[in-house]
Amino acid sequence: MATLNKLAQSLISAYDKATAPNHEKTVSVNPLVAEIATWYEKFRTAMDYREDEVILRSTIERILKRRTILGGDGQTVAAPLIRELVWARYFPDSTIAESQVTQVADAIDLYLKLEEEINKRNNISKGLVNEWILHLLSSEIEHILKPNDPKDIMSSFLFRIFKDLVVISDDAHETRDLQVYIAVRRAYANDDLAFLRYHLFKQYLQLNEENVKEAAEQFPRVLAQIQYQLNYPAKDNIYSYIKNQTIPFLILDDVLRKHRGSAFSVAADQDRMHAEILSACNSRYKAISGKVKRAIVRSVIFIFFTKALFALFVEGTFERVLYGRTLWSSIALNTLTPPILMIIVGVLIKTPGRDNSMKILRRVNTILYDDPPVLDKPLMIKKKPGKTGPVLWSVFIILWLATFVLSFGLIVFILTKLGINPLSQGIFMFFLAIVSFVSFRINRTANMYVIKDRKENLKSLIFDFFFMPVIQVGRRITLGISQINIFLFVFDFIIETPFKGIFAFFEQWFLFLRTQREKLD
């Protein structure tokens, strides 16, 4: 039997808390309608490329936009919103209590009231205020529907470990704590901008019915403080430091979730805990291939339906005007390149081995049994790192620009030799940049449980020099175009609204038929 340290004891106590059985009336939906809605939701989320951890929140935001655009409130929005989430199987049937529906309705009314008061009292863009309200409200609703989420429990544990391992020599401890908190939410919980805004907002303000007007008055100040923290100069250093150490916590979370209610007895038996950790590693490794396949399918759908159709339409029209005919060879090149590259990425992915599992095991032992648990050397940084001299900075900028010229210049040279016209070359590079960024993210997903040596090697240096410029451009294109995606607008406001209306009609119709059938009994 091994002795758990104090932090580990508090962590396991939080996981072991048994949830009381729910005897309230719950939300139930028709299984046939849910089956159709689930397939629709899979297709829709594939068009909006996001991390798995934020898909539920972004779906809630999407539904809120659609249902409040014409003046909906908590009474009219909460129940249909939750039915849509259960239809799409974000939650199993009959697991959402009607009391949670009431909580969601109250939250919607509260945040809509806050938005109204902010617009009355402050000279802030209504579009920005609406974006913030949707971010805060969608995050609040997810927390209402998923109380005591183990992800939040483990995030708090990480914060307690790492806040004393990060030192910002030229700033206050309060700022250090906030930056470690943000880094943990980004690195472990994979929070997006909306979640980060929400968690920071809760640090500054505890919104309720009594303080809505006061919160509206303070909103500009809170917004400015949150923006400052999210744009903090040393944020990326802290994020990288914590991100490199999250893998054992992910595996530990798997084991503690599996044994909720009896986690103490498992963790106290070191031999049993070792076996559970290695088993969890193997389960995660097996799940990687399925997760990568899903990511590849989603990526191809995302690229084709949000980018390819538009680009190919422009390319085909240009070629008919300029050449009097469509050059199918260039169109085939631009159409087939994305899925081929995606397939290559999938083939090259390797499953981690036992050596990696043993590294994870050693780190989990440190987390649970060492007091205090120290996974790495403390991070000593400054808010404002030493400035690079102007001459050296100019040299770095020139070298960085040279990598762009070399990378894209080589592509242009090869395509020119193949006889591809300038517009088709542009579309090819457009696709290549997006696919490179998406492939980079998929590869990162495939290696999310691999503990790596942080030392630089020749391979990583060559990769950074030639491929990082293309990936950077792809990231900017993907994030930029996602904000103005006409296909998503069409789906959300022209197709989805009547589509979900049809779901609701058939669910009521099936309920009516069942009622009539029961009368015959």
The 3-class SS string of 398-427 reads HHHHHHHHHHHHHHHHHHHHCCCCHHHHHH
User: What gap in Å lies between CA 455 and CA 321, rounded to an integer?
Assistant: 53
Q: 490 pLDDT exceeds 80?
A: no
Q: Are residues 214 and 283 in the same domain?
A: no
Q: Are residues 503 and 453 in the same domain?
A: no
Q: Are residues 341 and 196 in the same domain?
A: no
Q: Domain range for residue 382?
A: 269-483
pLDDT at position 114: 96
Q: Which residue has the tokens 């409200």?
A: 137
Residue 415 placed within a domain: yes
User: What gap in Å lies between CA 189 and CA 198, rounded to an integer?
Assistant: 14
Residue 386 placed within a domain: yes
Q: Which are the contacts of 129, defined by CB distance < 8 A and separation ≥ 6?
A: 115, 118, 119
Stretch (H or E) spanning 271: helix 270-303
User: What gap in Å lies between CA 482 and CA 430, rounded to an integer?
Assistant: 14
User: What gap in Å lies between CA 436 and CA 408, rounded to an integer?
Assistant: 13
Q: 182 pLDDT exceeds 70?
A: yes
Q: What are the CA-CA distances from residue 209 to residues 111, 114, 163 (Å)?
A: 10, 9, 33
Q: 231 pLDDT exceeds 90?
A: yes
User: What gap in Å lies between CA 242 and CA 186, rounded to an integer?
Assistant: 9
pLDDT in tens, 384-400: 766 666 777 777 778 77
Residue 304 placed within a domain: yes
What single-letter amino acid sits at 475? Answer: R
User: What gap in Å lies between CA 508 and CA 506, rounded to an integer?
Assistant: 5
User: What gap in Å lies between CA 259 and CA 268, rounded to an integer?
Assistant: 13
Stretch (H or E) spanning 336: helix 328-348
- Give the residue among 260, 446, 454, 242 at the shortest CA–CA distance from 352: 446
Q: Are residues 474 and 359 in the same domain?
A: yes
Q: Are residues 478 and 495 in the same domain?
A: no
pLDDT in tens, 435-476: 788 778 777 777 888 887 655 555 666 666 667 777 888 777
Most confident range, picked from 28-32, 127-131, 470-474: 127-131
Burial of 102 (0-12, 13-18, 19+ CB in 10 A): middle
Q: Are residues 169 and 41 in the same domain?
A: yes
Q: Are residues 391 and 470 in the same domain?
A: yes
Residue 261 placed within a domain: no
Single pTM value for the model: 0.78
pLDDT at position 186: 94
pLDDT at position 306: 54
Residue 260 placed within a domain: no
Residues 176 and 163: beta-carbon distance below 8 Å = yes
Residue 40 placed within a domain: yes
Q: Are residues 356 and 442 in the same domain?
A: yes
Residue 497 placed within a domain: yes
Q: Give the angle 166-219-179 at the CA atoms, nearest 5°.
A: 5
Q: Are residues 454 and 507 in the same domain?
A: no
**Number of domain units in the chain:** 2
Q: Are residues 219 and 338 in the same domain?
A: no
pLDDT in tens, 296-329: 776 677 666 655 565 566 666 666 666 666 666 6
Q: Which are the contacts of 267, defined by CB distance < 8 A and separation ≥ 6?
A: 4, 8, 12, 256, 273, 368
Residues 446 and 287: beta-carbon distance below 8 Å = no
pLDDT range class, residue 71, cuts 50, 70, 90: confident
pLDDT at position 348: 73
Q: Are residues 155 and 304 in the same domain?
A: no
> Between 458 and 345, where is the model more confident?
345
pLDDT range class, residue 485, cuts 50, 70, 90: low
Residue 255 placed within a domain: no
Q: Are residues 163 and 286 in the same domain?
A: no
Q: 496 pLDDT exceeds 80?
A: no
